[in-house]
Amino acid sequence: MNGSVASSRRIRALCAFGLLAVAAFGTRATAAPIEAPAVIEIRVEDAITPVSSRYMIEAIHEAESAHARALVVRLDTPGGLDSSMREATKAILGSEVPVVVWVGPPGARAASAGLFITMAAHVAAMAPGTNIGAAHPVGIGIGGQLDSTMVHKVENDAVAYVRSIAGVRGRNADWAEDAVRRSVSIESEEALRKHVVDLIASDVPELLRKIDGRVVQTVSGVDTLHTAGAVVREFGMSSRERILSVLSNPNIAYLLFLAGILGIFFELSHPGAILPGVIGGISMILALFAFQTLSVSFAGVLLMLLAVVLFVIEIKVPSHGALSIGGVICLLLGSLMLFRPRYGEPGVSLAVIIPAVILTAGFFVFAIWMALHAQKRRPVTGREGMIGEIGVVVDEIHPVGRVRVRGEVWIASAETPIGKGEKARVVSVDNLRLVVTRVNGGVSAREV
């Protein structure tokens, strides 16, 4: 009875621990709930992906529910996915709370998709030493580029979208069109002169002082900003979003995919190893999940899988290295083609691809060498393992006698008589009888 109670308590404790872990996984790195209206700040410092767009949308909802004075978005992005950018800009345009986009700190940029998000803000600001623009859409089609008709369609669609956003906010629509059509980019001072942004601020406190008293138009009506001296609360990503954001990095997704291929290959070639299969399976699932948030080329995936197939075939059908060379080429091309960057979204770095391809190719080449070496190795067990062994004649073989091989006495036969105490080499095995021949001179083989 006591054991049952103790077991029940352990189960309840584990359940409670699990619930706490789940709760912690979904929590955000935020301060205590705000009692008075304040300014909420978020940081978007990477490519615009479904994770970052969802983060911005949730921050807008948080600002609305907390009746915040404004939402400040610290933006530093090379661009990102068109679909994610449009989700973010729609949320900003439809926000009841003023959204202030600040391209900072110094050295930051709002390139490509970042331009659209900055243009959509109720207040657009930049730090000194930052730049904005270079928003020409980049798409990938058959052969690596869109055909000319699709290029014009995508470009015209992006131009119409950015002009509509600039028109809503009263900003320079002509320059925004040039940023899309001609990929022009300008620094903060020029952006202020051309009325692309509203002001320049070195940091967030200065930004809040400069926008204090500014009148903006939200979907709820005219709103006057009161931000001077306001409390700033950071609205961080949840643990889940941080993990998804890391996985959305093309370099991480690429390495996970490679680890998945290697782990599964090793498990299939060495059944029962377990650990490589577990690690490979987890890595492959995480990689496939990351692929959902990235622009993946199926041609790149197929080339990488073909590389593995060629390496495996090399083990079964030796081609003097031809299949291995083909596998390395497929692996390299597949790695280069795996992702299709759009709107400035970064792809896999060559600094990651080259070492990864070399290490992966080296792994498979070593595995192939070990397999070929094992195939050429002389058998040491069974009937084949007996052939070539040297034994000592126990009873004269004439034509049948007995011989001691590997510490065991066997019945043996020979074409010519072999006297007791002489050495004999096994030439074949006939059921349980050895066929031997006399050994003349020195013996280099194993002698038992």
DSSP single-letter state for residue 194:
T
The answer to whether residue 84 is catalytic is no
Could you say which of 52, 84, 112, 245 is catalytic? 112
Question: Would residue 133 be called left, alpha or beta, if left means φ above 0 and alpha means ψ between -120 and 50 degrees?
Answer: left
User: What is the residue-averaged pLDDT of the chain?
Assistant: 82
Cis-peptide, bond into residue 37, ω within 30° of zero: no
The answer to whether residue 210 is catalytic is no
* pLDDT at residue 63, rounded to an integer: 95
Q: Which two tokens stand for residue 225?
A: 């900003």
The pLDDT tens digits of the residues spanning 26-57 come to 445 444 444 456 999 999 998 888 889 999 99
Q: Which residues contact 232 (CB under 8 A, 6 or more apart)?
A: 38, 39, 40, 41, 72, 204, 208
* pLDDT at residue 443, rounded to an integer: 44
pTM: 0.66
Percent of the chain, pLDDT > 90?
41
User: What is the rounded average pLDDT of the residues 204-215?
Assistant: 96
Query: Cα 107 vs. chain centroid, distance in angstroms?
Result: 27
- 3 state DSSP class of 149: helix
Q: In which order are the strands placed within the sheet that holds 185-187?
A: 109-111, 131-133, 185-187
346 or 287, which is more confident:
287
Q: Which of 127, 134, 129, 84 is nearest to 111 (CA)?
A: 134
Q: Which of 41, 39, 42, 47 is nearest to 109 (CA)?
A: 47
Distance CA 156, CA 136 (A): 10
Task: Write down the domain spans for the chain.
Answer: 35-238, 249-376, 382-438
Could you say which of 153, 183, 210, 238 is catalytic? 153
Q: CA separation (Å) from 328 to 303, 306, 371?
A: 10, 10, 18
Q: Which residues contact 15 (CB under 8 A, 6 or more apart)?
A: none
Q: Do the two domains 35-238 and 382-438 of this chain adopt the same fold?
A: no
Distance CA 28, CA 357 (A): 37
Provide φ and ψ at 262, rounded to 5°: -65, -45
DSSP single-letter state for residue 33:
P
Contact present, 109 and 76 (Cβ < 8 Å):
yes
Ranked by mean pLDDT, the top range of 30-39, 181-190, 426-435 is 181-190
The pLDDT tens digits of the residues spanning 96-138 come to 999 999 999 999 999 999 999 999 999 999 999 999 999 887 6
User: What is the rounded average pLDDT of the residues 240-247?
Assistant: 79
Fold of domain 382-438: OB fold (Dihydrolipoamide Acetyltransferase, E2P) (2.40.50)
Neighbours of 279 (CB within 10 A): 17
Domain spanning 35-238: CATH 3.90.226.10: yes
